Amino acid sequence: MYDLPDDVSFLSLLHNIGATSPNRSLTVEEISLWSAMDQEKVIEKLSKLAERKYVESHIADGIEKYYVTVDGIRKVLSIYS
């Protein structure tokens, strides 16, 4: 197989664990557990992906959660084509 840039691998992880819509979004803590990364690193990666419009956040019950946008899903799917 081939190596993917870290940000794309992280985006793919979010996609694969199902964080693909506001109602399936995850907190930084949940993403940290799934990715085995510290929360600061998760926040850094989410910020970079949000700048590219691959990830968005929203507030649910007073808690910020993140999910992959349509553009992010397209980016992940482009890996396979």
pTM of the model: 0.90
Tell the CATH topology of 6-78: Arc Repressor Mutant, subunit A (1.10.10)
Ramachandran assignment for 18, one of left (phi > 0), alpha (psi -120 to 50 degrees), beta (any other): left
Domain boundaries, the chain: 6-78
Cα dihedral 49, 66, 72, 53, rounded to 10, equals: -50
In a structure prediction context, what are the per-residue pLDDT tens digits for the chain, which is 81 residues long? Answer: 457 678 899 999 999 999 999 999 999 999 999 999 999 999 999 999 999 999 999 999 999 999 999 999 999 999 887
